[in-house]
Amino acid sequence: MRISYETESAIKILSAVVIIAVVVLYYLLAPIVTHKPVPYGVAAPKGQIILLENITIGKYSWENAVDLQKYLILKGSEDYGDSVTLKLQNPDWCLDIVIWEGQKYVRTEECIRELVIPKYLFAISSAFYWYVESGYHIIVYKREGTPENYELVNFTVTYGEETDWGAFKAAYPRD
């Protein structure tokens, strides 16, 4: 049995249209079907140089310290609970926590090495980056003595069962 020229052309055109439609649908639907959540982790600081400052918040002050409120950025889209744990790895460094309580700043923690931060103290962007809210200050400083220039400060951040590392080099500003 012989197929007419018109039928043969229609089959070829229809085959090409079907192949193109399958390829287009694959590229449109594959990202949706294979979507994976944003993995949890520390986005910053990851080894950046952070300048030491003399910080005054309310009636509290620190010399040669870093306010992580400006620098700590986490990422993730999964919900592993209501709190995040930040733990310093350097034994000679401390954390102080200062929060705004409506009328004044209050130091709620002094020279601790492990901190549990409620999840609601983070502003979470549409891209799933977590920023520390403006009224919550995490001050990192050396307990005794002065930090060395470019001293590496390591920490871990745990959210549920997920843990990631962060680090920064504490440096003095140039004169």
Enter the pTM of the model. 0.76
CA nearest 39: which of 116, 122, 117, 128? 128
What's the pLDDT tens digit per position in 108-135?
999 999 999 999 899 988 889 999 998 9
Q: Where are the beta strands (DSSP E) in 52-173?
A: 53-57, 60-67, 73-75, 83-88, 93-100, 105-112, 114-118, 122-124, 129-132, 136-142, 151-159, 162-171
The distance in angstroms from the start CA to the end CA of the chain is: 93
In the numeric block, which tokens belong to residue 142? 């050396």
What's the pLDDT tens digit per position in 92-105?
999 999 999 989 99
